[in-house]
Amino acid sequence: GQQLNQSPQSMFIQEGEDVSMNCTSSSIFNTWLWYKQEPGEGPVLLIALYKAGELTSNGRLTAQFGITRKDSFLNISASIPSDVGIYFCAGQSGSGANSKLTFGKGITLSVRP
């Protein structure tokens, strides 16, 4: 089935640094979403992207929908300790019965104070 590729599995950064995460797919998606999950909680929606080339910001987070519709990236600027968590990309390929989300395996972000 479809798979989204996120790597590396873990990232370690210093507080105040910027970090960028990529997500790639062999299939085209119509919508890209980025979620953050913390221990004991469900994924929380960070940003949703609907058009190829779209660049959207949410505070210190910026995400882009790749022009090939097969990739997306998420950038976090000026990281803080509460940015720690697992970041998942997810693609949505259609509407109706095809509106399921396909997730990557996630990137675990650690921020050193």
Partner 1 sequence: ETGVTQSPTHLIKTRGQQVTLRCSSQSGHNTVSWYQQALGQGPQFIFQYYREEENGRGNFPPRFSGLQFPNYSSELNVNALELDDSALYLCASSQSPNQPQHFGDGTRLSIL
Using only C-alpha atoms, the chain has a radius of gyration, in whole angstroms, of 14
Q: What are phi and psi of 36, to 5 degrees?
A: -120, 135
Judged by CB under 8 A, does residue 101 bind partner 1? yes
Judged by CB under 8 A, does residue 96 bind partner 1? yes
Strand order in the sheet with 71-76: 4-5, 19-25, 71-76, 61-65, 55-58
Binding-site member from 100, 110, 112, 113 for partner 1 (CB under 8 A): 100
CB of 31 to partner 1, least distance (A): 7
Question: Which residues, including other chains, have CB under 8 Å from residue 19's CB and lie 6 or more apart?
Answer: 11, 13, 75, 76, 79, 109
| Cα-Cα end-to-end distance for the chain | 40
Stretch of 29-37, 53-61, 64-72, 74-82 lying at the interface with partner 1 (CB under 8 A): 29-37
Stretch of 51-59, 68-76, 77-85, 100-108 lying at the interface with partner 1 (CB under 8 A): 100-108
Binding-site member from 45, 67, 78, 80 for partner 1 (CB under 8 A): 45
Contacting residues toward partner 1, per CB under 8 A: 1, 4, 31, 33, 35, 40-45, 48, 88, 90, 92, 94-106
